[in-house]
Amino acid sequence: MENKKLLSVKHLSRFYGSLSAVNNISFHLNKGEVLGFLGPNGAGKSTTMQVITGNLAPSAGQINIYGFDLLDSAKQAKANIGYLPEQPPLYRELTVDEYLSFCAQINRIENTKQKIALEKAKERCGLTEVGKRLINNLSKGYQQRVGIAQAIIHNPAIVVLDEPTVGLDPIQIKEIRNLIRELAEDHGVILSTHILPEVQMTCDRVQIINHGQLVYSDDINHLHQRMRSNSLILGLNHAPSEAELKSLNFIDEVEVLSNSRFRLSHAIENSPSENIAQIAADKNWGLFEIRPEQKTLEQVFVELTSGDVIADEADTEEYNGASAA
């Protein structure tokens, strides 16, 4: 198989009393990809992240991490996964170096290799300059980098990040997203988020969870295609009649928005933009705007979450275990 699965989850469920927070979900993570785990608040993202990282027991299901069963071979399985929880476990009274040394120890990195591991994690997360600073005195963006550094310090094959950009400002968000993309060069990454554009900007594949169930799983490009709509906005300073617009090639409907602006509907596979721009120039319509409309991710999300639950991949695909390299 070309794509080695770093992680395979089958029929995972988790109950809190009678509440089914995660209900029979199956998914996998391939090498070199960022998988977006998208869903509204309360959907079951954090519960899933806690279970697949061995921090919460599943009620049912199997989790295989890098060839190791999480329940049967917990130690080896956990050595291959790094986790940034929703509330990062930072010790604020420590310096970055002190904290990351501590993390190296609890991840059982050999004494002689701890310093190298620490330097490498700091370098990857852009923390080299702040090793001596108290975590408490760092900005929220830098604290989040420290959280990511502790997740990768033992160089795990898989990195799980639960809502890593929440509470950051736009510049910090951009930096953390870049860092996540870089991580994917050497690790498989699972990123949970309730923010749709985050998935669009950072992930290769997206999986949508709602009420504890997976409702969608696909390549990010397919999600982009789903966002294509079948209309465009046209702005003309010297507009012709509505009838003339409607008689243009490929146009199904014309909606008049104002004296100079129109919404034109067309078949999704035939964009009339080029044709219209040409005619508008020839006929001096005073073209000032021509813009394909896109569905918002919110609209797509509503369409997807009101649909049927996707087929369970575990029924059709067999786990092809990735052996420890």
Site residues for Mg ion per CB under 5 A: 45-46, 86
Identify which range of 14-22, 116-124, 261-269, 297-305 contacts ligand ADP by CB under 6 A. Answer: 14-22
Residue 10's beta-bridge partner residues? 62
**In whole angstroms, how close is the CB of 17 to ligand ADP at the nearest point?**
7
Q: Does 9 bind ligand ADP (CB under 6 A)?
A: no
* Unique residue bearing structure tokens 């109950």: 15
Out of 44, 58, 188, 272, point to the residue binding ligand ADP (CB under 6 A).
44
Nearest one of 267, 266, 268, 286 to 277, comparing CA atoms: 286
Tokens for 127, please give them. 């923390």
**In whole angstroms, how close is the CB of 140 to ligand ADP at the nearest point?**
20
**In whole angstroms, how close is the CB of 61 to ligand ADP at the nearest point?**
15
**In whole angstroms, how close is the CB of 271 to ligand ADP at the nearest point?**
37
Residues 6+ apart with CB under 8 A from 46: 85, 86, 162, 163, 192
* Unique residue bearing structure tokens 């949970």: 192
Nearest residue (CB) to ligand ADP, 16 versus 288: 16
**In whole angstroms, how close is the CB of 19 to ligand ADP at the nearest point?**
6
Identify which range of 28-36, 43-51, 223-231, 276-284 contacts ligand ADP by CB under 6 A. Answer: 43-51
* Unique residue bearing structure tokens 């919460």: 56
Beta-strand (E) ranges in the chain?
5-16, 19-30, 34-38, 60-65, 68-69, 81-84, 158-162, 188-193, 205-210, 213-219, 228-236, 251-256, 261-266, 287-294
Ordered alpha helix ranges (H), 80-110: 96-106
User: Which 8-state DSSP code applies to residue 135?
Assistant: G
Q: Say how many residues touch ligand ADP, by CB under 6 A.
A: 11
Three-state SS string over 194-212 comes to CCHHHHHHHCCEEEEEECC
Identify which range of 28-36, 38-46, 87-95, 236-244 contacts ligand ADP by CB under 6 A. Answer: 38-46
Residues 17-36 that bind ligand ADP (CB under 6 A): 19, 21
Q: Does 143 bind ligand ADP (CB under 6 A)?
A: no
Nearest residue (CB) to ligand ADP, 39 versus 67: 39
Residues that bind ligand ADP (CB under 6 A): 16, 19, 21, 39, 41-47
